[in-house]
Each structure stands twice: as C-alpha cells, then as structure tokens.
Chain A
Amino acid sequence: MPDTIYRAAAPDTVRTAELDAFTAIYHRASGITHLVTSPAPEILAMLGGGGLTRAALLARLAADFDLPDGDEGALAARLDELVAAGLVSAS
C-alpha cells in the first residue's frame, strides 16, 4: 500500500492573515477561524498542493529548522491536528 500523501488545503478554500507570531486562517468550508503558530504555517507551506508523505515532511522540517532529535512525535501531532481541522487532506 503506498504511503499516505498529505496536502495543504487549496489556496481558494482558506483565507489567511499574518498577526505577529500567529497566522489566522479562515476555513471556508467549515466557517471556523484557526489561530496557528509555528510550525503549523511552515507545515502548510511545505505540503502545498503537491503534497508529501509524513516521513518526507518530517525530514524536510528537521532539515530546514535544525530540529533536535525527539521532536518528530510533536510534529506528527501538529500534522494530525491540521488534518482534523480540514486544513490538510490525507489521501
């Protein structure tokens, strides 16, 4: 079975606004506003419309942000939250 690909919600399905250290994201389908902070905006940017597997995403995040060992669990939890919020799709 191929690995699950995670994709950020299409740009026309959300509205975003940068608010100092936070990003407000309005999710059109649910009408819910999410106020997120790092690493959620970075995860969304990396996934984009093309998508990545979970392993590839975590590897790129670790490389880009020089993450110490042991943070993979936290990053995976953030990814799952974004899926639950509808801001990331998994297929």
Chain B
Amino acid sequence: MRHVFSVRVGPVGFRVGSDWRAPIAQLETLYAGYPKPEVPDFSVRLFAARPWRRFLRPSVMIGGDFVLPEAAPLPLAQGLLAAEMGMNLQMALGQRRYLLLHASAVERDGRVLLMTGHSGSGKSTLAALLSRRGWRLMGDEFALIDPETGLAHAFPRLVSLKNAAIAVVQAAASNARFGPLLAETPKGAIRHLVPDADAVAAMDRPATPALLLFPSYGHAAAVREVPESEVFVRLTQASTNYVALGERGFSALTGLVKAIPARAIDYPDTESAVAQVDALWGGL
C-alpha cells in the first residue's frame, strides 16, 4: 500500500497500510511515543471502495487479516477512526494469546481495577479520569488476561471518548494530547485521548487483577455485590474470544471470577463514580 504505519501497543504489533496519507499522518502523530513492533501480529488496510473513490468523495474501507463483511465505509475525514476500528477488529477476532475482555483497566500499586460494561456505561471515561488521578492507564477497550498467569496485560491504545465524555475529560485533562474531533461518526462525536507517557512507558508491565466493576451511568449512586455466577456470565459476554480459547479461556475466566470481588456501581455523574471507586478500592 502507498502509506504504511506500524506500532506496538502492549504485547501486540500492528501494521496499518492506507491508500491515503492523512490517516497515517494522524496515527504517526498520536502514537509518536510508542515503540515499533519487531514483527506485526495484525495487519489493517484502509483502501478505497473503488479506485476513483481515492479522490472523488473518498471513502475508507477497512480490511485486514480479519474482516467484517458488512462493515460500511467511512468518509476519509474519519480515516483515523477507521484505523482504530480496524485495529480493534483484528484484536477482537484474531487474538488467541490472551483472554480478551471488553473492559477498561487501570493500575495502582501493582493491582488492577477492571471496568466492563456496554458502550455508554462510562468505562473509557472513568479510566481516562482515573489516569489523571494517579492511576496508570492500562487500556480503555480491551483487558488482556494471560491464561497461564492470571495477570492483566496492558493494551493502552488511544482512548476513544464519545459525545458528552469528550468535554468531561478535556476539562479534567487540559494538558493532555487529543486527536482531531471526529464529528458525525456512526457512534456520534469521537475524540481520541493520547495515553500519558507513563502509561506507554509501563505498558510491558503486567499486574494482578484486584477488583472488577460494572459501571452504569445515569442512575442514583448505588453499589451492588455481583455473585460469581453472574460475573462469569457477564464476562463470557464481554469477551470476544472466550469460545475460541476453549479450555484455556475457561481456566482464565473462572480463575479471574474466583480471584477478585465484583461490584455493580450506578452513578449520576463522574465525580460520584470516582468517589465510589476510591471507597471500594480503599476497602479491599
């Protein structure tokens, strides 16, 4: 392909090829502090739906080792989003080394707080805010659980902030680096937050899971203990590769469920959520 970018995020190497320069230039800027992979694990291709669409109302198709056939093309202005979606897709469909949980992860004192939930639950926002308050950001999208050790490995890609979360995190992290505002994407407005240098520098250091939260935004503050069986079911649903990993996935997931407490937290605003996290963490 005409333009190529490669990056290593945690233990995973990516190679992104593109028909256009612009998305590659944005990736180079935003991932400037990241190392290059020795050998990429996954390839992503951003290509024109038709040859003339490289110039005329350019639209970006996402390709790679693993593809979703029904994925719709994105306008070139959202090429960065296409690249990030492509990288996520390779992980979701192709990752076999680790049990993948659709969860954000932050670390403090060698122990990891995992937060999982549906889109809009606030797991990315909370991880971004906690990373400004002394926690190490390990990732906002995927937590990687090693079936052999039970340790969580970091995957600190760009933090994907959506809609109202953009202003909340910008207010709390005025000195942080952000990507361009991507308006009117299929997921609404999106802006990427660049993880701080400490998170990138420490991304090869795994840590022990200590607490699992299921945040839910838009309700009066409440905390509920979640029984092991419910945690297990919810995490099988939150994992993109539980079935593919077979018995290793079963060992990793049951081991995690038995090892750490889990709480569902409802919160009306992010300040409440951060206070709930502090209280639960302090009580461990």
Query: A31 near B243 (CB under 8 angstroms)?
Result: yes
B258 within 8 A of A: yes
B66 within 8 A of A: no
Query: B227 near A20 (CB under 8 angstroms)?
Result: yes
Known A-B contacts A17-B258, A31-B243; the reply to A26 vs B228 at CB < 8 A is: no
> Which residues of chain B come closer than 8 Å to A17, judged between CB atoms?
250, 254, 257-258
> Which residues of chain B come closer than 8 Å to A19, judged between CB atoms?
227-229, 231-232, 254, 257-258
Known A-B contacts A17-B258, A19-B257; the reply to A24 vs B227 at CB < 8 A is: no
Q: Which residue from B229, B246, B258 sits with its C-beta under 8 Å from A35? A: B229
> Which residues of chain A come closer than 8 Å to B229, judged between CB atoms?
19-22, 24, 35
Count residues of A near B (Cβ-Cβ below 8 Å). 12
Query: A35 near B232 (CB under 8 angstroms)?
Result: yes
Count residues of B near A (Cβ-Cβ below 8 Å). 15
A78 to B250, CA, bound (A): 24
State the B residues within 8 Å of A (CB).
227-229, 231-233, 236, 243, 246-247, 250-251, 254, 257-258
Known A-B contacts A20-B228, A22-B229; the reply to A15 vs B236 at CB < 8 A is: no
> Which residues of chain B come closer than 8 Å to A28, judged between CB atoms?
247
A31 to B251, CA, bound (A): 13
A20 to B250, CA, bound (A): 16
Query: B246 near A31 (CB under 8 angstroms)?
Result: yes
A21 to B229, CA, bound (A): 7
Nearest-CB distance from A58 to chain B (Å)?
A: 27
The residues in A between 6 and 38 inclusive whose CB is less than 8 angstroms from any CB of B are 15, 17, 19-22, 24, 26, 28, 31, 33, 35
> Which residues of chain B come closer than 8 Å to A33, judged between CB atoms?
236, 250
